[in-house]
């Protein structure tokens, strides 16, 4: 039998705090979900490895489809200096260039400013932000245990928004994390005297392509994606830029006329475009953690924000409605995620395949470029409708 001392000891044990929501990763997906869910009144803890502000490898063109939703959350990018972008152009190695108006248009804002803005909004609304790396997540008895090297926290719901690739993927035994990926990306800001304010340009070179657009600071962001196959012959960014990137005359002209703002470019490797599962071990995955669209579509940021909205909606329902259980929440998230993004990702994969095959490239871009309606069709298929 248990004596009185046992019960006294039991009552003095520290109580385990179970948070409503823990979000792993403070990029666009994680921060947007944090802002949305804290506005709904829930207790949100967010884990992020890096303090803000910090630069990130990204094309920094965000589609207008998420603008009304961001504004509803109280985030007005144009008021914070984002550049309105209305025009798109694409070029091939031979110097052919096609241009069109963007059906919805978008904005140019550095991730340095964008993520920082969302972070300030989130902490202003009471989100608890922990700057440490999550090393494990386990689910048992209807709650999650999230661990870093020196903390162990509990939550009813966990959102995985830790980006393209993380050690956590291996811990969660996700298939793609055990395979080597053949892509790397390079990004830098440049000062340029005359690059148009309202333009996002995509230029091809052998084994890759690069995007150019202005940001709120006035600098032009130049970000490119290339295969290892193409890069490894030089293994040096300056040399690669000179010999491969500058083979495209528009990029050559840009590099000749501009001055780098960063001391050295930022790079990331091991980028995976493989199919991923939007729910793993009951964790709702958002943004790139659920699936990364090929950057040439210029839609990954909007998808990250949109998926945060979808997750926040089902999570809100789960907390408010006693008859809506976890399995219903997961089922709904999976089906709305698939309905919203599956086709976009498919088009992105096909497009990337065509545009990086040397034999199709010229003819492909010329065919698309010569038909404004085909170009707009492709843009529409890789983008979504406006969300509020």
Ligand X SMILES: Cc1cc2nc3c(=O)[nH]c(=O)nc-3n(C[C@H](O)[C@H](O)[C@H](O)COP(=O)(O)OP(=O)(O)OC[C@H]3O[C@@H](n4cnc5c(N)ncnc54)[C@H](O)[C@@H]3O)c2cc1C
Q: What is the binding site for ligand X (CB under 6 A)?
A: 24-30, 47-50, 56-62, 133-134, 161-164, 166, 168, 185, 211, 223, 225, 271, 287-289, 292, 295, 298-302, 304
User: What does the alpha-carbon distance between residue 51 and residue 40 come to, in Å, rounded to a whole number?
Assistant: 25
Q: How far is the CB of 279 from ligand X (least distance, A)?
A: 15
Q: Hey, what are 131's tokens?
A: 């700057």
Looking at the Cβ atoms of 184 and 365, the one nearer to ligand X is 184
Q: How far is the CB of 361 from ligand X (least distance, A)?
A: 19
Looking at the Cβ atoms of 20 and 60, the one nearer to ligand X is 60
Closest CA to 159 of 23, 29, 278: 23
Instruction: Give the side-chain half-sphere CA count within 13 A for 127.
Output: 31
Q: How far is the CB of 245 from ligand X (least distance, A)?
A: 13
Query: From the DSSP assignment, how many helices (H) and strands (E) are in the chain?
Result: 12, 17
Closest CA to 288 of 362, 126, 177: 177
85 forms bridges with which residues in the sheet? Answer: 106
Looking at the Cβ atoms of 36 and 288, the one nearer to ligand X is 288
Q: How far is the CB of 8 from ligand X (least distance, A)?
A: 39
Looking at the Cβ atoms of 258 and 272, the one nearer to ligand X is 272
Looking at the Cβ atoms of 83 and 223, the one nearer to ligand X is 223
Q: How far is the CB of 161 from ligand X (least distance, A)?
A: 5
Q: How far is the CB of 2 from ligand X (least distance, A)?
A: 41
What residue has token string 């050559």?
252
Query: Per residue, what are the HEC states of 184-223?
Result: EEEEEEEECCCCCCCEEEEEEECCEEEEEEECCCCCEEEE
DSSP 88-121: EEEE-TTS-EEEEEEEEEEEE--HHHHHHHHHHH
Q: How far is the CB of 55 from ligand X (least distance, A)?
A: 11
Instruction: Let me know: does 24 contact 159? Beta carbons within 8 Å.
Output: yes
Looking at the Cβ atoms of 151 and 325, the one nearer to ligand X is 151
DSSP 276-331: --SEETTEEE-GGGT----GGG--HHHHHHHHHHHHHHHHHHHHH-TT--HHHHHH
Looking at the Cβ atoms of 211 and 384, the one nearer to ligand X is 211
Q: Which H or E element spans position 252?
A: helix 249-257
Collect all residues with Cβ–Cβ distance below 8 Å to 229 and sequence separation of at least 6.
182, 207
Looking at the Cβ atoms of 161 and 361, the one nearer to ligand X is 161
Q: What is the signed CA dihedral for 122, 186, 179, 310, rounded to 10 degrees?
A: 30
Q: How far is the CB of 228 from ligand X (least distance, A)?
A: 14
Buried/exposed 230-246: b ≥16 CB within 10 Å, e otherwise: bbeeeeebeebbeebbb
Q: How far is the CB of 321 from ligand X (least distance, A)?
A: 27
Looking at the Cβ atoms of 128 and 328, the one nearer to ligand X is 128
């Amino acid at each position: 039998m248990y004596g009185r001392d046992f019960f006294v000891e039991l009552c003095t044990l520290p109580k385990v705090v179970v948070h409503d929501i823990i979000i792993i990763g403070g990029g666009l997906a994680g921060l947007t979900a944090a802002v949305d869910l804290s506005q709904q009144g829930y207790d949100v803890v967010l884990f992020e490895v890096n303090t803000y502000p910090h630069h990130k490898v990204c094309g920094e063109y965000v589609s207008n489809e998420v603008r009304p939703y961001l504004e509803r959350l109280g985030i007005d990018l144009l008021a914070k200096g984002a550049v309105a972008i209305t025009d798109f152009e694409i070029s091939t190695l031979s110097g052919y260039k096609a241009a069109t108006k963007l059906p919805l248009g978008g904005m140019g804002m550095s991730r340095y400013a964008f993520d920082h803005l969302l972070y300030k909004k989130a902490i202003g609304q009471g989100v608890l932000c922990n700057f440490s790396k999550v090393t494990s997540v386990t689910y048992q008895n209807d709650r999650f245990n999230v661990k870093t090297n020196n903390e162990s926290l509990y939550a009813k719901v966990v959102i995985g928004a830790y980006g393209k690739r993380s050690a956590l993927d291996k811990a969660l035994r996700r298939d793609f994390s055990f395979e080597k990926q053949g892509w790397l990306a390079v990004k830098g800001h440049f000062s340029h005297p005359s690059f148009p304010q309202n333009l996002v340009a995509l230029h091809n070179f052998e084994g890759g392509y690069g995007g150019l657009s202005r940001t709120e600071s006035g600098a032009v962001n130049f970000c490119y994606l290339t295969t290892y196959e193409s890069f490894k012959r030089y293994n040096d960014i300056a040399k690669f830029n000179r010999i491969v990137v500058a083979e495209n005359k528009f990029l050559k002209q840009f590099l000749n006329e501009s001055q780098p703002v960063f001391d050295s470019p930022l790079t990331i490797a091991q980028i995976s475009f493989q199919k991923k599962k939007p729910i793993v071990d009951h964790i709702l995955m958002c943004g790139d953690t659920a699936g990364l669209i090929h950057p040439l579509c210029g839609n990954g940021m909007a998808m990250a924000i949109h998926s945060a909205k979808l997750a926040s909606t089902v999570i809100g329902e789960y907390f408010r409605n006693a008859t809506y259980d976890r399995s219903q929440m997961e089922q709904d998230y999976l089906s709305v995620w698939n309905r919203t993004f599956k086709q976009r990702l498919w088009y992105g994969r096909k497009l990337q395949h065509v545009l990086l095959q040397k034999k199709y490239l010229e003819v492909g871009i010329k065919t698309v470029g010569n038909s404004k309606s085909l170009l707009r069709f492709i843009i529409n298929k890789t983008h979504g409708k406006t969300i509020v």
